[in-house]
Amino acid sequence: MTQTENQTGGKLEMKDTPLVPVEDIVSLCKRRGFVYPNSEIYGGVAGIYDFGPLGVELRNNIRRYWWWSMVQNHDNVVGIEGAIITHPRVWEASGHVENFVDKLVECSNCKRRYRVDHLPTENVAQNKCPNCGGQLGEPRPFNLLMETYLGVIEGDKTKTYLRGEACQNIYLDYDNVLKSSRMQVPFGICQIGKAFRNEVTPGNFLFRQREFEQWDLQFFVHPSEMQQWFDYWKEYRYNWYMNIINHKDRIRFRPHASDELAHYAKQAFDIEYRTILGWQEWEGIHWRQDWDLSRHSEFSGRDLSYTDPLTKERYIPWIVETSGGVDRTFLNLLLDAYEEEPDPTGKEKDKRTVLHLNPMLAPVKVAVLPLQKNKEELVTTAKTLHKKLQRLMVSQYDDIQNIGRRYRRQDEIGTPYCVTIDFQTLDDSTVTIRERDSMSQIRLNIEEVPMYLLDRVAWK
Ligand code: GAP
């Protein structure tokens, strides 16, 4: 994708680019401090990652944008933040103890393990390992819940689970929210939080991890309004993703076949995104009906039915769920934004690596660069502007190496704007603003810079 932008921020041109290898993203993430392997000095842990200085900024922006769109922009939605550990009965009521199972097979020759539903059909039919052609063993069920224990005395500890899906807290807090927030059906509760799964085959970097983060909306409705709200949220979530990607042709809906529906879902659609890994799930839109509140009513003994304040009708609300992954969003956005371009000036033989991240999500919004670091007036002016901008957005000050190299460093981490303080600044108080995608430059009075940038990096 090559994207150019005119001076008013309008998109002028987009062209397609090849799918990016995941290894290029892994390497960029390590090199520039987005993501590191967890416990690397001990050899690492498969399927668990840490986020570095730039990764935290990007992740926080992604989360905040979701929260802003889903909670703060909807009068009928509120948010909670529940605990990772809950009462163990929660996972019996939810059906996870019984049903949250993958089937695993092991090759008798190379000992590789596979999830049966991830194997190519011909390998399942022939019972043949895709790696070495060896014989695959009998499928064994494998529960994905991670166990943990509460209590200090050996033999007297209670077994419970790290939450296998973050959304369970929402059902547990549903009644409290209803009583404390003046919400009435139809209304929704959102949460962003960690989930834990003993994935049989963690892999593909952040795509399938054992510890990851989910964002959920559970929207409670009268059964007669289920279809209407299901359609509303399906469309809303699709458009939300469309708004943050460059490659609009790489996203689609896929309905679940009846044999792949989760135990709680009567109907489901995945929003999928196409990367080098093929079309893969990004978010699930689930028709959970009355499964959750009925089960928790039954298992806890607490009546979770709702009484309509006008009609006095009593019923268990049905639920529309939208459930996506913060980490998959992080990975997909990097795969969507990454591009290696030949050097446009022709002077350097290095390619230009650029992240075309949406400015509102970019980890660093602006870099302030004095043309030379040994000219005190340039440095003082640049540092004063940088300090002013830091109160409004993430700004970096950089005076190391020539200006071209500094632009490249910022392009590689997706910084949408660079402001250069040069000798003309000292004469007429104007600065150069350079835009990342088009590399176009304009001159602007230094006093106008904060508003110019704020306008371009605000939530949209
Ligand atoms: N409450 C419904 C639920 O958990 P899910 O389809 O299992 O549904 C929702 O998960 C989202 O969580 C997925 O669409 C994906 O983005 C993310 N996700 C699921 N498993 C993941 C894993 N092992 N690693 C990273 N993200 C994962």
Nearest CA to ligand 1 atom 18: 325
> Could you read off the pLDDT of 116-139 as tens digits, one per residue?
988 999 999 999 999 999 999 999
> Could you read off the pLDDT of 37-52 as tens digits, one per residue?
999 999 999 999 999 9
Ligand 1 centroid–CA 115 distance in Å is: 16
Ligand 1 centroid–CA 184 distance in Å is: 28
Peptide bond before residue 186 is cis, with ω within 30 degrees of 0: yes
> Could you read off the pLDDT of 274-316 as tens digits, one per residue?
999 999 999 999 999 999 999 999 999 999 999 999 999 999 9
> What residues line ligand 1, using a CB cutoff of 6 Å?
165, 167, 197, 199, 208-209, 212, 214, 216, 281-284, 321, 323-325, 327-328
Please report the atom of ligand 1 found closest to the CA of residue 270: 14
| Rounded Cα distance, 271 and 13, in Å | 26
The Cα-based distances of 250 to 23, 57, 201, 237 in angstroms read 20, 25, 25, 15
User: Which of these, 455, 430, 358, lies nearest to 8 by C-alpha position?
Assistant: 455
User: Is a pLDDT exceeding 70 seen at residue 3?
Assistant: no
Ligand 1 centroid–CA 344 distance in Å is: 40
Nearest CA to ligand 1 atom 14: 283
Nearest CA to ligand 1 atom 11: 324
User: Which of these, 366, 370, 367, lies nearest to 421 by C-alpha position?
Assistant: 370
Please report the atom of ligand 1 found closest to the CA of residue 214: 12
Whole-number pLDDT of residue 253:
97
In sequence order, what are the beta bridge partners of 368? Answer: 397, 419
Is the model's pTM score more than 0.85?
yes
Residue 203: strand, helix, or coil: strand
442: alpha, beta or left? (left if phi > 0; alpha if psi -120 to 50): beta
Indicate the pLDDT class of residue 155, thresholds 50, 70 and 90.
confident
> Could you read off the pLDDT of 64-122 as tens digits, one per residue?
999 999 999 999 999 999 999 999 999 999 999 999 998 999 999 999 999 998 899 99
Mutation test of ligand 1: which of 204, 212, 273 has the most ligand atoms closer than 8 Å to its C-beta? 212
Dihedral angle sign, alpha carbons of residues 160, 164, 169, 174: negative
Helices H / strands E in the chain, number of each = 13, 25
User: Which of these, 82, 382, 351, lies nearest to 216 by C-alpha position?
Assistant: 82
Ligand 1 centroid–CA 203 distance in Å is: 14
Averaged confidence pLDDT in the chain: 94
Residue type, 302: R
74: alpha, beta or left? (left if phi > 0; alpha if psi -120 to 50): beta
Nearest CA to ligand 1 atom 17: 325
The pairs formed by 25-33 with CB atoms below 8 angstroms and a separation of 24 or more are 25/205, 25/331, 25/334, 25/335, 25/338, 26/205, 28/334, 28/338, 28/353, 28/412, 29/55, 29/334, 32/412, 32/413
Please report the atom of ligand 1 found closest to the CA of residue 209: 24
